[in-house]
């Protein structure tokens, strides 16, 4: 235990000294997995917070009717409050509904309220129903193209119209995967859905990142799942894994990310290291996206 604490403290010191470079253009990332309980919202919130904690400019968009990302960020999102629902309905712009995080001066949040739960039925008959968020995002970034280094969209745990809107509005997908074998079964379905979106709606969409969550280094199962996913998706899976942690689960109830709730704990350090890995891959990912775009045009 003493050795682990020393190692954790050393990791925290090293992480604090790292420089997070601004990507050459805004990275648009959806955090998606149709399987619930894999740490999807936790990952979206804490990657966004870790990046903001190192000075990068972040927009976190909550596209889950449960509004858990909004709760974790301490942003008001009661029924009737301004939210992403108003953006999808065309009443307000992203600029009008975003709020500044009280914990990070460079992190803005677009909240989701329970109103969003009825959006799929209400929007189903609209002619451009798949691109509502994409249109709003394009407007925001066109008006201020250098405003954000990262736009991170937290998706609902489903494969419906709201998730489709998110996947049509971004260039990348980050998939959190729980370190258990059931997660591998759901991964195939998710990748199939993403391939359909690529083929029919967003040819530039790329699965850029996979992150193993709820990793228990004491069990052989966690290591086996990590090794298998890394073998099949080499170059996409982050080397960092996110440990099981009571503190990570507690943080949202205090309206905080783990980055502010327990800044020197194992969860905060792990998400900080994961965010650094995501950031350090920026230029190679952006180059890949550029190559994909040119290939699609040809």
Give domain limits for the chain: 25-291
Q: Mean pLDDT, to the nearest integer, of 80-87?
A: 91
What is the distance of C-alpha 90 from the center of its chain?
A: 24
Q: Mean pLDDT, to the nearest integer, of 245-269?
A: 93
pLDDT per residue as tens digits for the range 266-295: 999 999 999 999 999 999 999 989 887 776
Residue 30 CA: distances (Å) to CA of 3, 163, 171, 261: 37, 9, 8, 24
CA atoms of 139 and 94, how far apart (whole Å): 9
pLDDT at 227 over 80: yes
- Under a CB-based contact definition with an 8 Å cutoff, are residues 156 and 164 in contact? no
pLDDT per residue as tens digits for the range 28-83: 999 998 887 888 999 999 999 999 999 999 999 999 999 999 999 989 887 888 99
pLDDT of residue 205: 95
The CATH number given to 25-291 is: 3.40.50.300
CA atoms of 59 and 106, how far apart (whole Å): 9
CA atoms of 287 and 283, how far apart (whole Å): 6
Tally: H helices and E strands in the chain: 14, 8
pLDDT per residue as tens digits for the range 7-22: 888 888 899 889 999 9
The tokens of 33 are what?
């997995």
- Under a CB-based contact definition with an 8 Å cutoff, are residues 279 and 51 in contact? yes
Between 212 and 159, the more confident residue is 212
Which secondary-structure segment (H or E) carries 60? strand 58-63
CA atoms of 257 and 251, how far apart (whole Å): 6
Helix (H, G, I), strand (E, B) or coil at 40: helix
CA atoms of 173 and 254, how far apart (whole Å): 28
């Amino acid at each position: 235990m003493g050795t682990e604490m020393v190692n954790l403290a050393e990791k925290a010191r090293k992480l604090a000294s790292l420089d997070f470079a601004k990507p050459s253009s805004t990275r648009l990332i959806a955090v998606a997995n149709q399987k619930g309980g894999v740490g999807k919202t936790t990952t979206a919130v804490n990657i966004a917070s870790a990046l903001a904690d190192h000075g990068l400019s972040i927009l976190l968009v909550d596209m889950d009717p449960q509004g858990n990302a909004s709760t974790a960020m301490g942003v008001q999102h009661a029924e009737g409050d301004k939210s992403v629902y108003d953006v999808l309905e065309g009443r307000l712009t992203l600029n009008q509904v975003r709020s500044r995080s009280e914990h990070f001066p460079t992190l803005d949040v677009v909240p989701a309220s329970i109103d969003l739960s009825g959006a799929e039925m209400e929007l189903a008959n609209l002619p451009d129903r798949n691109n509502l968020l994409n249109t709003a995002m394009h407007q925001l970034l066109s008006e201020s193209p250098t405003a954000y280094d990262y736009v991170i969209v937290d998706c609902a745990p489903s494969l419906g119209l709201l998730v489709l809107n998110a996947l049509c509005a971004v260039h990348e997908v980050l998939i959190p995967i729980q370190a258990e074998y059931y997660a591998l079964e759901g991964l195939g379905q998710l990748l199939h859905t993403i391939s359909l979106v690529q083929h029919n709606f967003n040819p530039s969409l790329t699965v850029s990142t996979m992150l193993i969550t709820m990793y228990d280094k004491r069990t052989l199962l966690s290591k086996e799942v990590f090794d298998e996913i890394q073998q099949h998706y080499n170059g996409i899976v982050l080397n960092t894994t996110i440990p099981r942690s009571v503190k990570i689960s507690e943080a949202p109830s205090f309206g905080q990310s783990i980055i502010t709730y327990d800044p020197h704990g194992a969860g905060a350090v792990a998400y900080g290291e994961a965010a650094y890995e995501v950031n350090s891959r920026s230029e190679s990912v952006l180059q890949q996206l550029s190559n994909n775009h040119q290939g699609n045009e040809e």
